Amino acid sequence: MRAAATDLDTAAGPLTKGADFLAAVTVSAGDFGEVAAATTLATALNDQLGKGERSLDAGGKVVRRTANGLTSNARVYTDTDDNARDTIVGPQQAVGALLMVALSDCYW
């Protein structure tokens, strides 16, 4: 889980950078020169750039949240495993020690 979380966190970076890049791009009608539909085209392109920026930004956030969730779950699983081990092994060791004392008394 931790390795997958690291990979996902790494993957979120390019999505965020792509969103930042698209957010900085603006097309104006003048960029097309004297074209009758330049304003309509510029508006349509800017709308699509905005959609792309929002999509990449949302994707980056989701990927990062997924990575954080995996890291958190890995921590919970490790803590649960450690608690289970301590619950099982601790009493076993105590019983084993008592048994050794009892057996040593029997043989001497």
Reported as a single tens digit per residue, the pLDDT across 66-107 is: 999 999 999 888 888 888 777 776 666 666 666 666 666 665
Domain residue limits at 74: 2-107
CA angle 82, 85, 91 (to 5 degrees): 135
How many other C-beta atoms can be found within 10 angstroms of the C-beta atom of residue 30? 11
Q: What is the pLDDT of residue 101?
A: 63
Domain count, the chain: 1
Q: Indicate the pTM of the whole model.
A: 0.69
- Cα 27 to Cα 10, 54, 64, distances in angstroms: 30, 17, 30
Distance CA 94, CA 99 (A): 9
Measured CA angle at 23 (ends 9, 41), to 5 deg: 135
